[in-house]
Structure formats: structure tokens, C-alpha cells
Structure 1
Amino acid sequence: MRVLHIVTGLAAGGAERQLHLLLRHLPAHQQCEVLALTNPGTVAEALRADGVTVHHLGMRGNRDLGALPRLVRLVRAGRYDLVHTHLYRAQLYGRTAARLAGVRAVVSTEHSLHAGVIEGRPVTRGVKGLYLAAERLGSTTVAVSRQVAQTLRSWGVPPARIELIPNGIDTSRYRLPPAERAAVRRRLRAELGLPYGGWVVGGVGRLVPGKRFEVLVEALAELDPATRLVLVGEGPERAALERRAAELGVRDRLVLTGERDDVPELLAALDVLAAPSTAETFGLGVLEGLAAGLPVRYSACPALDELPPRAAPQARRVPSEPAAYAAALRDLRPLSGHTADPLPHPPAVGHYDIVRVAADLGALYDRLARV
């Protein structure tokens, strides 16, 4: 089966990294290629390194309608059995192009949808109307959580056209052998200028307003001066976070790594993961922290909300306020000594293992291709 994944861009965001991970674990008979409408960033490089063919359409913006006929020609020439779209712009153009090219099986994954927000932007009447019009051109919309599925139903998408397949994590990448983990921890702490025996709080995600990393910067000012904060990611809020840290006198305790493709290793350099975002459609970063054996303090994680509390005993919900995070993190800090030993994997990690998730998606592909 030939499958084309169409995605808006391939920078190192959550949806893009999830696509890369899925392609590594889909059944071998499903031969996949990827097309980025724009911005073929670090994930495109990683895909090519894995041997995946990556196309770049060179789209100039949301209203570059001239990209549509080029996309139709590419889909038709590829003779694909199924097209799978990801993210809003790719959903609009990709579903339309697939239908015009004669592809019958068209899937879309909804990665980031709330009642009034899609991919961090407010949902206007026009945005919603275009979304629903494009949805009707597809076969199935995959929701990454029950929360997303509920939003789709509230918008009027028929339940029969919604498939719940959550995001997944490669659990094997996050569980390093003890000697290797210690070496990685020592190397990365030296690289980032962190004391090997110090206490380090971390956050992972794009530096955008919705992630609310300013909460952690302000909490840092209330913590022991030896505490460090590492934020893994890049985005438009970087300068604002740096300014706020300088105003609070903690700029020398804040480390911004920029965009990285070694997140599992970076997590081994942390002591706790903090996730103050209040609007998540899944909460992948929280699951990654748990897979790395870290205690986690978070404000929103639908992936955990959909499981019993005992599925992740080392994760605790915290109000997304600086004082609340400062108190929660202060309670976690060892009173004396320091341990880098990881916590055991909780049941939630196994539940979202990428092997199981990819098998479910592969089964959906096979079912739709037979229709």
C-alpha cells in the first residue's frame, strides 16, 4: 500500500515529531512518503535520514491557491492508495487535492483542537466552516484524545467518521541502561552549563504563549538559588521569556536549548518535568517525562485524564500559577544529597506505547483501503 502523508510543515513540533515516530513503526507493507506544504525543517532531515521520501511543495502562505494544482499533480503521479493529512492548512489543501486526484481513502489526524482554539489560534466562523467543508472530503478523522473527539462531535462531525487513536511514545528510547544514562546525564549537563549534582527543572515544547512557560520562569525566582530551569524548544516567546527572567534576576539560572532532536537524552539530564499549559489536546510532553522516569507536575493532560489515577502515580496536577508550581517543585527537591535514579515506568507509559498505536493506525489504513 502506498501512503502519502501531507503536513503543513516539518519543524520540530509535537505533531511533526509524532508523524516521524509513526512512520518508524507502521507495518512494513504500508510504504509511506511525506509532503510538507512549507518549512521542511529538522523533522524532514530526520525522515530523510530514515530513508523516507520527503517532498516540499514550496507553498507561500495560506492563500497560495496556485499550490493546489501542483499538489493534485503530485498526488496523482504518486498513484497513492491512501492520503493522510496533518494540521489545519494541510487538511484543507490535502483533502481537496486527494479527492481531485481520485484517491478514495483520505484520513486526517486532528492533533490540536479545542472548542474555540485550533493549533493555538482562535476558531472564527470562517475557520470552522472551511474545516467542516474539508472534513466532508475525507473518509475518517483521527482524534488523538477523547477530548478532541468530543470537540469534533460538538462541531457536527458524525461519530461514525471519527476514530480515536491516541498519540504514542517510543518507550524504549526513554529508558536508558543505568551506565549509559549516567554518561548522557553528565555529558549534557556539561554541555548546557549545569552542575552535575545540582537540581534541574525542565519543560519541553514550543515557546508559544499557550505553553505558559513564563509560569516556570516566575516560579524559578521563588526557588532555591541553586535550582536551574531548562526549556527545550524554540518559538516566538523566547525573547519575552529571556526578558522576564532578567527582570526577576534569574537569567543566569535559565537555559534555553532551542530546537533539539535528542529530547529523550535531554530528559535524562533533568530531575523533574513541569508542564504548566492549561490547553492541551493530548499532553505528549507529560508522557515523555514519565517514560524518562521523571516525576511530573502538570496543569493539563487529557492523556492521563482518560486513565485511572493509579496509571501515573508520579504525576500530579498543579494550578498553572507561579506560586503553585514553586510550592510543588520545592516539595520535590531532595532535602539532602542528590539522586539521578529514574522512577519505574507507570502503566500509562505502556498504554501509549507507539508499537500499539501504530498497529491500530495501520489496521485503519487496511480497513479503509478495502472499502
Structure 2
Amino acid sequence: MVQVITGLGVGGAEGQLRLLLRHLPPEKVECRVVTLTNPGAVADGIRADGTAVTHLGMAGNRDLRAVHRLVRVIRAGGFDVVHTHLYRACVYGRIAARLAGVRAVVATEHSLGESQIEGRPLSTGTRALYRATERLGSGTAAVSATVARRLREWGVADDRIHLAPNGIDPARFRHDPAVRAAVRGRLGLPAGAYTVAGVGRLVQAKRFDLLVRAVAANPRTWLLLSGGGPEREGLLRLAADLGAADRVRVVSAQDGGPDVPEVLAAADVFVSPSPEEAFGLAVVEALAAGLPVLYAACPAIEDLPPDAAPGASRIGGGLRELAAAIGRQRQAGGPDRLPVPPAVDTYHIAHTADRVLALYESALASARKK
């Protein structure tokens, strides 16, 4: 089978694809990956894991030649299933699969929000093109119950929507005090410094500027942001303007900095200020690291019973509410690490792989009947 994705730079959907490939049983599924654009760091990782990656060289959203190139790749590979990820790959991939004669076509909807998709505002044309091409596939996997609801509101038939939540490998985030000490020393965090962590792409939609302001308003509190993106320099300037430059660190594993598990090990609390999420993967990772979590929006937690994640608290979306919540959490203190809650096992990547594999088998069975 072939996995088709818009790009393979660093991002949540890209990382999910790599993790899924690691957990699909090789005796049942042999995969190849096609990226329409940007064969970046995740492409390198997928190749290192042993899966071939083809770069289609798509020049832009309206490069229709990419459809013909993708058709040739699908036909040459003799693939019986096509699995698409992210908006552009879903639109082009479904069309190409149909032209190549493949009927078992599965999509994963990673990033559908109430007012945006993949960080871009939704438009009437975007919705119409999505709905029209969605019908060319066998069905769509939603990464959360919230995304499934949004798909229904868009007019996608209920029997075409399948829940396959994002997953993590909990062992990767298990807390290690030695790692904590090493990372804090490497980043120059003072001994005993109360440290807030934030993780994600540094774009306006994630509202990390709000987090910088909230930390700046809390004396003796440090901020450790992990991620890359266009807002990086602006966030550092904001910290300087607020007189908090010495208390803010922005790091990225791609630039030689600590990776996400190391950042979480170094932190005392995790905060997700993003007002709109399709899942909230970083929140689940923080819970796996034993951190208390403050979040503005997280379907991964909101879709579960209240006792599934007792260490996670929803906060208001304003600066005052966020700054006060961080201050209360700091004053409350507590154990070095919380017990890992049931929510983490709910979102184990092994469960995700099982659901996706069942979806492949269902799509193949349906295609054979046709």
C-alpha cells in the first residue's frame, strides 16, 4: 500500500504517520510513502526506519501535473490501498487513486477545526472541494470524536467516518530524573526554577504569544518552548520587550536542541494555550511524562470521561486567566511527577494501528465487492 501526505517537514500529522508506520504489522502491510512537497526531517526519519519515500515535486496547490505523476506512481507500484493525509494530499490523492483504478482509498483527517484546517481559514471553496473528493474514497478516519462531529457537520455521511485517534508511544515519555537534570543544566535553567513547557509549531494559531505574556507576568517562572515556525523570532522579541528574555528558552530538536521528551522532563507544568485543536497530541504526551497540564482546548481529553485525566485542567482563553492558572499551579506545588493517567493508555499507538489496519481490511473487502 502507499501512504500519500502533503509534506514531511516537522509536524503533528507527519510525526503520526512515521509512528503509525512503525506499528503496522509488516507481515500484513508493506508500505511506501509519497510526499507531494517538502521531503524534510520526517522523511529522513521514515527512510531511516526502512520505508521508502518518494518526493512528487509538487510546485503549488494548483500544480495539476502532480495528479498525473501520482497516478503513475500508484500504477507502477501495483498498490491495493491508498491512504492519504492532510488536505492537499487527500484531494489530489483520492483523484489519482480513482484514475489509477484503486478503489480502497482511506484518508485520515488530522487537522479540521471549527474555523480552520491545518492552520488556514476555511472557505466555501475549501469545504466544497473537500466534500466532493471525499466521496471518491472508501472512508475517512477522524483523529478524535470532535473531528468526527465536525466532518458530520460538513455533510460527510456518518457511515463513512471512522474513529482512529492519534496515538503516542508512552515509553518514550516516561520520566527520568537524570534526563531532567541534564537538560536543565544544558539549557542554563537555575536550580529549582519553576518551568512551564509548551510544545508545537510556532504559528499564530497556537497563541504561544499569550503563553510568553503569562509567564512574564509570573515572577520566578521560566518558559521552555519546543518547536519551529515563523513566530520564533517574534516570540523571542516579545519576551525581551516584556523584560523576560532571560526566562524564556525556545528550542528545536532539528536545530540541535532537546527533543520533546527531554523538554517535558525538564518542565514542572505543561500549558497548551491554543484555542482550537483537532486532537491535542502534546497534551497526551505531557500526561505520559507525569506533568500537570493546563489547556485551552484539547479534544483528546474532552472526549473522555473526567476521571481519565485527573492531572489536566481546562483554562480560559484570556491572558489574565492563563497567568493566574500558572500562578496557582506554582503555588500548589505537589509531587515531582503525577501518576500516568488512564488517558495515556487509551491513546497508545498500538491501538491506533489496530484501528487503521481494520479500516484497510474493510476498504479492501468493500472494493472487492465492487
What TM-score, normalized to structure 2? 0.94
Asked whether the equivalents of residues 114 and 276 of structure 2 are also in contact (C-alpha less than 8 Å), the reply is no
Aligned with 1:217 (options 206, 212, 222) = 212
Name the counterpart of 2:5. Answer: 7
Aligned with 1:252 (options 246, 251, 257) = 246
Name the counterpart of 2:186. Answer: 191
Counterpart amino acid of residue 59 in structure 2: R
Counterpart amino acid of residue 69 in structure 1: H
Counterpart amino acid of residue 249 in structure 1: G
Q: Provide closer, same or farther for how the CA distance between residues 307 and 335 of structure 1 changes in structure 2, counting only shifts above 3 A.
A: closer
Name the counterpart of 1:286. Answer: 283
Name the counterpart of 2:170. Answer: 171
Asked whether the equivalents of residues 188 and 269 of structure 1 are also in contact (C-alpha less than 8 Å), the reply is yes
Name the counterpart of 1:67. Answer: 66
Name the counterpart of 2:143. Answer: 144
Query: What are the equivalent positions in structure 2 for 1:337-356 lying under 5 Å apart?
Result: 341-356=336-351
**Alpha-carbon distance, 1:87 to partner:** 0.5
Counterpart amino acid of residue 22 in structure 1: L
How many residues are paired up? 362
Counterpart amino acid of residue 152 in structure 1: L
Structure 2 unpaired stretches of 5+: none
Name the counterpart of 2:228. Answer: 234
**Alpha-carbon distance, 1:146 to partner:** 1.6
Q: Provide closer, same or farther for how the CA distance between residues 275 and 172 of structure 1 changes in structure 2, counting only shifts above 3 A.
A: same
Asked whether the equivalents of residues 198 and 270 of structure 2 are also in contact (C-alpha less than 8 Å), the reply is yes
* Distance of 1:190 and 1:286 partners within structure 2: 25
CA RMSD of aligned residues (A): 1.6
* Distance of 1:54 and 1:227 partners within structure 2: 43
**Alpha-carbon distance, 1:284 to partner:** 0.8
Asked whether the equivalents of residues 234 and 259 of structure 1 are also in contact (C-alpha less than 8 Å), the reply is no
Of 251-260 and 123-132, the range deviating more from structure 2: 251-260
* Distance of 1:326 and 1:116 partners within structure 2: 26
Asked whether the equivalents of residues 12 and 259 of structure 1 are also in contact (C-alpha less than 8 Å), the reply is no
Of 190-199 and 265-274, the range deviating more from structure 2: 190-199
**Alpha-carbon distance, 1:265 to partner:** 2.4
Q: Deviations over 1:69-109 (max 9, x none)?
A: 11110111111110100011111111111111111100001
**Alpha-carbon distance, 1:116 to partner:** 2.8
* Distance of 1:64 and 1:258 partners within structure 2: 32
Query: What are the equivalent positions in structure 2 for 1:36-75 lying under 5 Å apart?
Result: 36-75=35-74
**Alpha-carbon distance, 1:19 to partner:** 0.9
Q: Deviations over 1:160-180 (max 9, x none)?
A: 11111111111111114xxxx
Q: Deviations over 1:336-361 (max 9, x none)?
A: 8x96x321111111111111111111
Asked whether the equivalents of residues 142 and 164 of structure 2 are also in contact (C-alpha less than 8 Å), the reply is yes
* Distance of 1:115 and 1:256 partners within structure 2: 29
Counterpart amino acid of residue 291 in structure 2: L
* Distance of 2:332 and 2:132 partners within structure 1: 57
Q: Provide closer, same or farther for how the CA distance between residues 316 and 107 of structure 1 changes in structure 2, counting only shifts above 3 A.
A: same
Counterpart amino acid of residue 131 in structure 2: L
Asked whether the equivalents of residues 106 and 141 of structure 2 are also in contact (C-alpha less than 8 Å), the reply is yes
Q: Deviations over 1:43-69 (max 9, x none)?
A: 111111111111111111111111211
Q: Provide closer, same or farther for how the CA distance between residues 17 and 332 of structure 1 changes in structure 2, counting only shifts above 3 A.
A: same
What TM-score, normalized to structure 1? 0.94
**Alpha-carbon distance, 1:196 to partner:** 4.2
Counterpart amino acid of residue 216 in structure 1: L
Name the counterpart of 1:131. Answer: 130
